[in-house]
Amino acid sequence: MSAAVSMSKPTEHPPPAQQRPVRPRTWWKAAAVLVVVAAVTVWSAIAVEVDFGALFRNAGNASRTIGQLLQPDYSYFPETVRPLLETLETAVISTAVAAVLSLPISFLASRATDPSTPLLVAVRFVMNVIRSIPDLLYASLFVTAVATGALSGILALVLFNIGILVKLVSEALDGLDRGGQEAALAAGSGWIKADRSAMLPEISPIYISQTIYVLELNIRASTVIGLVGAGGLGMLIDKVRTFYQYHYLSLVILEILVLVVVLEFVSSYARRKLVR
Amino acid sequence: MTPAGAGICFDGVGVTYPNGVVGLRDVSLDIEPGEMVVVVGLSGAGKSTLVRSINSLVPFTSGEITVGDVAVSGLRGKALRRLRSEIGMVFQSFNLARRTTVLNNVLMGRLYAAPTWRTMLGLWPASDVELAMQSLERVEIVQKAYANASELSGGQQQRVAIARTLAQQPRVILADEPVASLDPPTSHVVMRDLQRINAELGITVVVNLHFLDLARRYGNRLIGLRAGEVVYDGPGADADEKVFESIYGRSLTAEDVLDTPARLT
């Protein structure tokens, strides 16, 4: 090949005299935000009429209750096994059902994987409605509509979980690198097939990790929704609390604590293994 | 086995983006079946637009492009997917799904032909897997078939991307800055792969490049773009410094060549 292109060495110039910018002062912005937040907090406390005096007037009551709570009655343990298992089962079943339903909905709810704007808007609207209702309200609705017991708890948690999972997974899809998808579409694939083969492998670690997080949430939530009659440890808490059996209550609380700590340990380990 | 390359005809093609930017201005070109064409120009000159209008990734707003005997304008849905299935595309950033295997990435070249239910379950027909393996063999990277795409070096990833286009059994391969993310020796490996595929399989190849030494070396035919217009069309070997300065609209600098200036002069 002929050497037609000759290169001249770039000539060295002394760096031009440049003016350094003055460092912008921004502390007053932080101070303003702090003042506003403090003002809103104080105003809220006044508005809801917080009565700190009650803390001291009822101190005798509190110390008696705390005293009992500090002495869990371990002999009550056999009575708690059945509700404990029910709480675990509720959490696991709801997580599984919600995880299966959430995956396709997440793909429909992300701009990155759903090219149809009307469908996207419709799915997002429904998801916003589902997410705006708290789990406790779902539970009390289902207890009224279905029956007291674990089934109502499962239905409530499934809806609660779909709201969370679809939100987290579809937002993760939005932020994903879409190179593989672009290549698949350029090779003549349709959107469904391109999403399945190029986007699913990229999202799966995040999806699995969020599912484990939701399982963790469910253990806590299934105790709370039990309070309104949706089965599990929550129903037991409601029972012993009504009869002021704080020795029993503290055992139940202790069990929940152990359950949550163990699960958190397991889930953080699993997520570390997954997302590398 | 592979159908012969298809010709590409640009007839007065213009591209105006929705924001009013003009990508191409009245471009008319005839690319013969089995030709290897290199497109050069500064960034923003319309190289990417030209290449991406051929498979309608960028829709053109006037004129007509014909690939083989198919008119591209107005193609939608199934007909557009069919055209795209016959045109392989190689990207600057490789565009692999990084968390899945090399083999699965190459199989994406078969998505047009694969039934949806098989894709959903990940059950590829044995014939498609065989085709994917042969494609990997052609770019000499079949030993990595079951490795994750993210474990590969940049040059290896780009060869996997080329294998993905081969799995389409395409009539045209478009390469949009295929070596811009690669180091010089790897760039030559990838360019030689494209050259070999063009020569052995007769597939029409259109490559965007911005390094002029690569362009002259691999472009049997060189097309120079400036501000969306064709300003040079001729053999790469004939394109001298003057030609490149007219394409670039300025004198050349060390950034315009891939290899060290010492090897050129």
How distant is the Cα of B61 from the closest Cα of chain A, in angstroms? 19
% pLDDT > 90, chain A: 36
φ/ψ region of B249 (left if φ > 0, alpha if ψ in -120 to 50, else beta) reads: left
Select from B57, B97, B261 the Cβ nearest to the Cβ of A202.
B97
In this prediction, residues A267-274 reach a mean pLDDT of 79
Selected for mutation to probe chain A from B96, B101, B111 (highest A CB count within 10 Å) is: B111
More confident residue, B201 or A60: B201
Q: Identify the pLDDT of residue A3.
A: 45
A5: chain B residues, CB-CB within 8 Å: 212-213, 240-241, 244, 252, 257, 264-265
Is residue A256 in a domain?
yes
Q: Which residues have a Cβ under 8 Å from the Cβ of A75 and sit 6 or more positions away?
A: none
Q: Identify the pLDDT of residue A14.
A: 66
Is residue A29 in a domain?
no
- Structure token digits, residue B210: 């911005």
- Structure token digits, residue B137: 């063999």
**Distance (Å, rounded) from C-alpha B210 to C-alpha B40?**
6
Q: Identify the pLDDT of residue A225.
A: 82
Select from B81, B99, B161 the Cβ nearest to the Cβ of A188.
B81
Query: pLDDT (tens digit, 9 = 90+) per residue, B29-40?
Result: 989 898 999 998
Is residue A56 in a domain?
no
Is residue A161 in a domain?
yes
User: Total domain count for chain A?
Assistant: 1
Query: pLDDT (tens digit, 9 = 90+) per residue, A71-102?
Result: 888 888 888 888 888 888 888 999 999 999 99
Statement: residue A9 has pLDDT above 90: no
For chain B, the C-alpha Rg in angstroms (whole number) is 18
Query: pLDDT (tens digit, 9 = 90+) per residue, A23-45?
Result: 888 889 999 999 999 999 999 88
CB contact under 8 A, A3 and B265: yes
- Cα–Cα distances in angstroms (integers) from residue A122 to residues A64, A76, A110, A112, A127, in the given order: 54, 51, 12, 16, 9
**Which helix (DSSP H) or strand (DSSP E) does residue A232 occupy?**
none
- Contact criterion met (CB below 8 Å) for A188 and B84: yes
Is residue A39 in a domain?
no
**What ipTM was predicted for this assembly?**
0.89
Is residue A5 in a domain?
no
Q: How confident is the model at residue A12 (pLDDT cuts 50, 70, 90)?
A: low
Across chain B, what does the average pLDDT equal? 87
Q: Identify the pLDDT of residue A10.
A: 55
Is residue A16 in a domain?
no
Q: Closest residue of A to B167, CA-based?
A: A187
Query: pLDDT (tens digit, 9 = 90+) per residue, B118-158?
Result: 999 989 999 999 999 999 998 889 999 899 999 998 889 99
Question: Domain containing A94 — which CATH number?
Answer: 1.10.3720.10
| Residues across chain A | 276
Q: Identify the pLDDT of residue B37.
A: 92
* Domain limits for position A192: 76-275
Helix axes A77-108, A246-274, angle to 10 degrees: 40
Statement: residue B265 has pLDDT above 60: no
Select from A186, A198, A202 the Cβ nearest to the Cβ of B89.
A186
SS3 for A136-201, per residue? HHHHHHHHHHCCCCHHHHHHHHHHHHHHHHHHHHHHHHHCCCCHHHHHHHHCCCCHHHHHHHHHHH
How distant is the Cα of A197 from the closest Cα of chain B, in angstroms? 7
